[in-house]
Amino acid sequence: MISSTASDPSGVTDAIAALQSGDVYVAPGVQGQSAMTDALLAAVPGDRTIAVVVLPEDADLGTVYPLELLDRLSERVPQTTVVLAVGDDVQAGSTVIDGNDVLRIANENEAAAGGDTQTALVETVQQIVEEAPSSPGGEAGGGTDWLLPVVIGGVVLLAAGGTAIGLLARRRRTPKAVADPVPPGIRLRVDRLRELRVDYANLPNNPVAAETAAGIDALASHVEQLFVRLDAKAETDQVALAEAEYSDKLARLVAALERDYLLDLLTRPDLWDAPGERIAEVREALAAVTTQIVDNIKQVNARKGLLFQVSLDSLIGRSELRDWERQFKKNSGE
């Protein structure tokens, strides 16, 4: 069993253990733990596809961000979709539904619930169930048996006063086909980051390359998370501000991470002047931009204006990187 240490924050071990045999874990210390557990058990389909984890707002996460915690849970539980709430911060991840879609569903329900975590979670689970593809094969009627109580309950509610109609309408307010909340220019950079991540991950016996691959993966995920949350919670001017800020910063960072710069520095340092200094510049820039984006996500969650304090002056000063950035923008039509 994994212990609750700095690498495994408080509550994670218990959550992972609970989800091996069940679909809901509401940690001790969560207000209304028993009632919330009952409500979530009634909402999840019970077919071991969706897990819900609720941690108190003051849960000790150490240095792990909620998004990283979600990834960690997803890797260690049998369910294919995980919904996580830390306090009233709700997010979701899935291997069978588009990641942007489940994040959007979670963020929109969080915003609509106005701090009511239980309502946000129940609505999130219900909408994810609607989005989930039907399981092929299986026993006759299998995969739909869990719907029977819902159908019967719907009939009773209709007979009692028609309230089920309002519930179904509310659950379907969000259309299934929505535009990518990540602006096209930012999406281009995120996609390139993910391509480069593979190159670094495949570089053998190089700890710096392995750390860089992990850093690129975290950055790409955080960028998507920022714009998903901005799309659900922020004013249009905040989205435009973030797009302008990160369009340039990510372009410079992608240039520095390209195969002919940092990757070449790691594989052929003998062909460069001051290779150690150059490598340190790129690694510091990657960490600084990631930290700033996480801070921006927290500002969005707190309904605060975005603050940008990171400068990439060390990268801007490299003429070869300025040339690459100009070519990148030209090729992307900017």
Residues in the chain: 334
- pLDDT at position 113: 83
Q: Which residue has the higher pLDDT, 334 or 57?
A: 57
- CB–CB of 228/100 below 8 Å? yes
- CB–CB of 243/303 below 8 Å? no
Res 293 pLDDT > 90: yes
Q: Give the rounded percent of residues in the chain with a pLDDT score beyond 90.
A: 40
CB atoms inside a 10 Å sphere around CB 67: 19
- pLDDT at position 285: 92
Describe the strand order of the beta sheet including 81-86 as a list of residue ranges.
24-26, 50-55, 81-86, 89-94
Res 173 pLDDT > 60: no
pTM of the model: 0.54
Q: Among 309, 211, 192, 308, which residue's Cα sits nearest to residue 256?
A: 192
> Which pLDDT band, with edges at 50, 70 and 90, does 212 fall under?
very high
Res 4 pLDDT > 50: no
What one-letter code names the amino acid at 327?
Q
d(CA 274, CA 37): 58
Res 2 pLDDT > 60: no
CA distances from 69 to 2, 52, 82, 245, 303 (A): 14, 13, 11, 27, 22
> Which pLDDT band, with edges at 50, 70 and 90, does 135 fall under?
very low
> Which pLDDT band, with edges at 50, 70 and 90, does 99 fall under?
confident
Q: Which residue has the higher pLDDT, 139 or 274?
A: 274
> Which pLDDT band, with edges at 50, 70 and 90, does 169 fall under?
very low
What are the DSSP calls for 145-170, one per residue? TTHHHHHHHHHHHHHHTSHHHHHHHH
- pLDDT at position 69: 79
Q: For residues 141-149, give the mean pLDDT.
A: 46
- pLDDT at position 319: 65
For 214-271, write each residue's pLDDT tens digit.
Answer: 999 999 999 999 998 898 877 788 899 999 999 889 988 999 999 999 999 999 999 9
- pLDDT at position 87: 85
For 16-73, write each residue's pLDDT tens digit.
Answer: 999 999 999 999 888 899 999 999 999 999 899 999 999 988 777 765 666 677 888 8
- CB–CB of 95/75 below 8 Å? no
d(CA 243, CA 186): 7
For 66-98, write each residue's pLDDT tens digit.
Answer: 667 788 888 889 999 999 988 888 888 888 888
